[in-house]
Amino acid sequence: MPLSNKFGFIGGGNMAEALIRGLLAGGVSPTAIIVSEPAPERSDFLKTRYNIRAAADNREVIATSDVVILAVKPQVWGSVHPLLSDIVSRDLLFITIMAGISTATIEAPFVEKIRVTRVMPNTPALVLEGASAICAGLHSLPGDLELTRKIFQLIGKAYVLDEKLLDAVTGLSGSGPAYVLTFLEALSDAGVKQGLPREVALGLAAQTVLGTARLLLESREHPALLREKVTSPGGTTIAGLHVLEQRGFRGTVMDAVEAATLRSRELGKQ
């Protein structure tokens, strides 16, 4: 059964577009989606490409929706909320995807005890393969988390967590695509060094990461067990793994996630 809510977007950028595509793929009617986007060309593009409604301003989104997705850049939020304070109500669920802004910060300027959930998605959401973590605000209703989870499952995998863990999520899956891309670049460069054509090396590297991730998710086995299956005694893979262990590959990855988590925590305090 498609979701029967009326969805509104404040901000019509990349993430909003990914969610719009997810909602439409999930069977939501285009007439149930409205977006407020200040750049006229972008607003027209979204309207004609997806057949959805374009709002004159953010207030129209609030007035005509029951789920409002806050998809502007975090630094813009301070100029957006003062214009909405007289029309927000508990009939609305706000879903914020703004990186680093807590549910308490969203709730604070409003007299009304607004319902908020917060989501940390990542860029593969743009191809409907995102990884998102979701948490609830102080005044959200019991069904709000579940509704948010259903929405974000339309653009990938979604996990419900405590808000205090969202910095770790930022360090892992938020920044993760950049780590994976760095790994992919290194893997394909390595192939080129060994004589493979650039295009073939990149294709092999990307498909290897994609296929291995799928194998892991579908088999539900521990990565160590799957690795053992492809590591024959005295073979090629153990020779390669030995070098990764010698150079501290795993420790480096753990340090990277830790550094990004701490940075997210720091930025959240500012």
Ligand X SMILES: NC(=O)c1ccc[n+]([C@@H]2O[C@H](COP(=O)([O-])OP(=O)(O)OC[C@H]3O[C@@H](n4cnc5c(N)ncnc54)[C@H](OP(=O)(O)O)[C@@H]3O)[C@@H](O)[C@H]2O)c1
- Contact residues for ligand X (CB under 6 A)? 10-16, 36-39, 42, 58, 71-74, 76, 80, 97-99, 120-123, 174
Residue 238: CB minimum distance to ligand X, A: 36
Nearer Cβ to ligand X, position 15 or 260?
A: 15
Residue 93, both tokens = 């669920």
Residue 110, both tokens = 């409003």
Nearer Cβ to ligand X, position 40 or 233?
A: 40
Residue 243: CB minimum distance to ligand X, A: 32
Residue 166: CB minimum distance to ligand X, A: 11
Specify the DSSP class assigned to residue 5: P
Residue 201: CB minimum distance to ligand X, A: 26
d(CA 177, CA 211): 16
- What Cα–Cα distance (Å) separates residue 151 from each residue in 1, 90, 102, 134, 247? 12, 19, 20, 11, 41
Nearer Cβ to ligand X, position 98 or 168?
A: 98
Q: What are phi and psi of 190, to 5 degrees?
A: -60, -40
Residue 119: CB minimum distance to ligand X, A: 8
Residue 218: CB minimum distance to ligand X, A: 25
Nearer Cβ to ligand X, position 16 or 24?
A: 16
Nearer Cβ to ligand X, position 68 or 201?
A: 68
Q: Give residue number: closest CB to ligand X.
A: 13
Q: Which candidate, 107, 190, 208, 149, places its Cα nearest to that of 22?
A: 149
Coil vs helix vs strand at 239: helix
Q: Which candidate, 88, 87, 91, 138, places its Cα nearest to that of 117?
A: 138
Dihedral over alpha carbons 22, 24, 28, 33 (to 10 degrees): 90
Nearer Cβ to ligand X, position 14 or 237?
A: 14
Residue 221 burial by Cβ neighbours in a 10 Å radius (0-12, 13-18, 19+): middle
